[in-house]
Amino acid sequence: MTQDPRPTARSDAAGSPGPGDTESEALDPSGPDPAEGGGGLFRSSAIMAVGTVASRLTGFVRTTVLIAALGTQALGDTFNTANTIPNIIYETLLGGILTAAHVPLLVRARQKSAKYGEEFEQRLFTLLLGALAVLTALAMAASPLLIRLYANGFSASQRHLGIVFLLFFLPQIFFYGFSAVAGASLNARSRFAAPMWAPVLNNVVVSAVGITFIVVTAGPVTPDSVSSGEVTLIALGTTAGVIAQALGLIPSLHRMGFRWRPRVDFQPGELRSLGGMAGWTLAFVVAQQLGLLVYTNIANSAGVRGLHEHVGYGVGLTPWANAYQFFQLPFAIVAVSVITALFPRMSRHAADGRLDRVSEDLSAGLRLSLIIIIPAAALLFGFAGEICVVFFAHGNTDVADAAMIARVLRVFAVGLIPFAALQILQRGFYAVADTRTPALVGFFTMAVSIALAVAGYLRLSTQHVVLGVAGAQGVSWLLGCVVTLALLRRRLGSLHGRDIVGPILKAAVASVAPLAVAIAAHELLVHRTAGGLLPSLITLLAGGLLGTALFVAVARVLRIEEITTVGHMVTAKLRR
């Protein structure tokens, strides 16, 4: 799989916490609030960011291997479509509910009493695992219909292969769900490290399988030429990675004292409280997945058109999916780490009726995230070409394939800032158990996005269709961010806008430096040497380091406090 559309972060550095380490440095529920100037938010976010970096780096290795093995055209599109469907089904029916409702419900239950909280958690665990098992079985029975739904333009051989892939991939639904349920239990106890590190197991397994596939195929393969043994190898190995990720969380659950004991003795009102939060969330996620259904079909249709027009490189789902994965990197490392650390705390404040503290936490999280996301977006935009050549111009892909992915990545990079801000702002509503407002906003923005994506498909050339899809998504994130911010101010009162706007504007000014470095480095080292792997790698490493250093220097001159704080934390860590 080349992307993971779930909103949660998954994510090795020497001396950093690994899957078996304790999370004793994680955000202490009784510790200082970030709004009060404590270091808890920075410390917890840093711990999770290390795990996320490890996950994403190994994920890039996995992606590079799979692209080299499967290419960006027919076989790659078939694999990615089938491997995305389990995520879509999981997110549509359970994933979004867990994201919005699980942690707040566990926090509220434990605030009543430790005994009641443990019993409620056992009941919820039992309910969700049972639902996942039923959902997985139903999806496997409907596999031919699912392929037709998401890949209507596939050829007969692609459709047949997609069904075979899907039968191997659909059990992932259960294990994705188990990972999310276990991760929520850990996060509700302020244990953040293990869920961030577990995906490394997934990436290692899939990378090994992909390398084996390259060795045994010894050349380009298509849906017509791939053997049944090769299909079994890549499909079974991919699902084995997801299983390894899920099983990797069990030791952390045991260390915190959790032992699952099936219980179905729900108390009066418990299912109603879950249903109340889940109903609107389910509607919201259905709308999101409807959009993904449209995007997937548009991208696959563009890929088929590209084959018929003999474009010569992939212009369909695979370029869009891989660009989306790289676009997610800064958000996963920074914003998801901050969100995960803040969300249990915000839920506790909301349960206590302290909306002012919810607002303060949200403001701190938004400020810290965007100050780092903004320069990251500039670097991603500037070095998109070099990134894609380094990671994708191998095996069954070439520089032309990489250039196509880079064009999509630049469009996504423009939308990174509103995307990250929207995800953080939505947690403000989830913390106060309001899933209705984000759902209504989501209906509006998704309608806009779908309309723009369809218009792009009808009006744009084949090579630009997936760029139009990425642009449509960016517009919807910006609209959602503006509307959600306005509604959240009504709900929580002041969001301390002055504290947010000043540092963000300074970060935007400082980000001009890395963008200028990227443009200059590309002109000097890549454009004049006709590109290639080595010039792109040198440009990416040297230009990236120089651009980052210049941003930090300008940020210190502009006195961006959060950058200074992060710098002190890194320095202290290196001195240990």
The Cα–Cα gap between 562 and 559 comes to 9
CB 223 within 8 A of CB 75: yes
Residue 9 lies in a domain: no
**Per-residue DSSP letter, 310:** T
Q: How many domains does the chain have?
A: 1
Q: Worst-scoring range by mean pLDDT, 5-14, 271-280, 369-378? A: 5-14
CB 9 within 8 A of CB 45: no
Residue 5 lies in a domain: no
Residue 31 lies in a domain: no
Locate the DSSP E strands across 417-569: none
Residue 24 lies in a domain: no
Q: Worst-scoring range by mean pLDDT, 62-76, 183-197, 409-423, 531-545? A: 183-197
- Return the structure tokens found at 126: 């039992």
CB 339 within 8 A of CB 183: no
- Domain span at residue 547 reads 37-575
The Cα–Cα gap between 233 and 298 comes to 29
Q: Which residue has the higher pLDDT, 119 or 44?
A: 119
Residue 20 lies in a domain: no
Residue 2 lies in a domain: no
Given a cut of 90, whether residue 493 has pLDDT beyond it is no
Residue 12 lies in a domain: no
Q: Which residue has the higher pLDDT, 184 or 553?
A: 553
Q: Which residues contact 501 (CB under 8 A, 6 or more apart)?
A: none
CA angle 367, 44, 6 (to 5 degrees): 75
pLDDT at position 527: 62
pLDDT at position 531: 64
6 phi/psi in degrees, rounded to 5? -70, 150
Q: For 213, what's the count of Cα atoms within 13 Å in the CB-facing half-sphere?
A: 31
**Per-residue DSSP letter, 316:** S
The Cα–Cα gap between 49 and 340 comes to 11
Using pLDDT thresholds of 50, 70 and 90, give the confidence band for residue 125: confident
16 phi/psi in degrees, rounded to 5? -95, 155
Using pLDDT thresholds of 50, 70 and 90, give the confidence band for residue 440: very high
- Return the structure tokens found at 217: 């195929």
| Mean pLDDT, range 24-53, rounded to an integer | 51
Taking each helix axis as running N to C, give the angle between helix 156-169 and helix 74-90, from 0 to 180 degrees, rounded to the nearest 10. Answer: 40
**Per-residue DSSP letter, 151:** -
How many CB atoms are located within 10 Å of the residue 276 CB?
A: 15
**Which of these, 286, 279, 15, 261, lies nearest to 125 by C-alpha position?**
261
Q: Quick: pLDDT tens for 385-432.
A: 899 998 888 777 788 888 899 999 999 999 999 999 998 898 888 888
- One-character DSSP codes across 325-383: HHHHHHIIIIIHHHHHHHHHHHHHHHHTT-HHHHHHHHHHHHHHHHHHHHHHHHHHHHT
Residue 410 lies in a domain: yes
Model pTM?
0.71
CB 402 within 8 A of CB 410: no
Q: Of 16-30, 36-50, 218-232, give the range with the top mean pLDDT.
A: 218-232
**Which of these, 565, 99, 566, lies nearest to 340 by C-alpha position?**
99
The secondary structure of 389-447, three-state, reads HHHHCCCCCCHHHHHHHHHHHHHHHHHHHHHHHHHHHHHHHHHCCCCHHHHHHHHHHHH
Q: Of 7-16, 23-32, 99-108, 483-492, give the range with the top mean pLDDT.
A: 483-492
Amino acid identity of residue 518, one-letter, is A
Q: Which residue has the higher pLDDT, 1 or 494?
A: 494
Q: Worst-scoring range by mean pLDDT, 4-18, 283-297, 444-458? A: 4-18
Q: Quick: pLDDT tens for 131-186.
A: 889 989 999 999 889 988 887 778 888 889 999 999 999 999 999 989 888 887 78
